[in-house]
Amino acid sequence: MLITPLAQDRIKSLGITVTTGEEAKSLRQNKKPDFSIIALGCDHTGFKVKQMIIKYLKEIGCTVNDTGTYNEEPANYPEFASKVARLVQKGEADVGILIDATGIPSAITANKYKGIRAATCYNEFSVRSAREHNDANILVVGAVTLGEGTIKGLVELFLNVEFLAGRHKTRLEIIEKIESEQFCNS
């Protein structure tokens, strides 16, 4: 693999780590993440991708709570986004993953629930930022906008990146204060 100096600079500025050879192989050994119960939901556009994610999660030893949809018939994303958000909100799932065409509408829906921090992610930088800085508890991806290989990599990263706390914890406390002022008890 050849990475030009310009590409190396861009990679570094985005906070992406590139590994090759044995180091990369050892990182990809299907290590079980800290999260063991994953709530998963999708609309019809995300069904095939959801099946791939379920297979991957089971391979690494996670328990999957599949909230649907269960086929490619037209389905309403708010129903599945709500199911996943409720499971995470109640502590019945450690984190959630939602899949629709773009990742945007399911994130909007899930974020209507107090305590939910659903992040639509489209690359490694957005996943890392969502977890490290925002302690995102639901990953949302677009089945039409991203390839399956990319999505699998984003899921793997989401499950293995930890919240940094520090100054980011203060920011989350501000968000929680806004939630307590703006949301009704649910």
**Which tokens go with 87?**
């499971």
Nearest Cα to Cα of residue 140 among 54, 14, 37, 40:
40
Catalytic residue among 44, 48, 114, 133: 133
Buried b (16+ CB within 10 A) or exposed e, 141-162: bbbeebeeeebbbbbbbbbbbe
By the 10 Å C-beta count (0-12 exposed, 13-18 middle, 19+ buried), 79 is classed as: middle
pLDDT in tens, 5-49: 777 777 777 767 676 655 555 445 555 567 899 999 999 999 999
- What pLDDT does residue 26 have? 46
pTM: 0.82
Nearest Cα to Cα of residue 40 among 21, 56, 24:
56
**Where does 34-182 sit in CATH, by number?**
3.40.1400.10
Distance CA 65, CA 163 (A): 23
> Could you count the other beta carbons within 10 Å of the beta carbon of residue 176?
12
Is the Cβ–Cβ distance between 116 and 98 less than 8 Å?
no
The DSSP secondary-structure symbol of 19 reads -
Q: Sketch the domain layout of the chain as residue ranges.
A: 34-182
pLDDT in tens, 96-152: 999 999 999 999 999 999 999 999 999 999 999 999 999 999 999 999 999 999 999
Active site residue 168: no
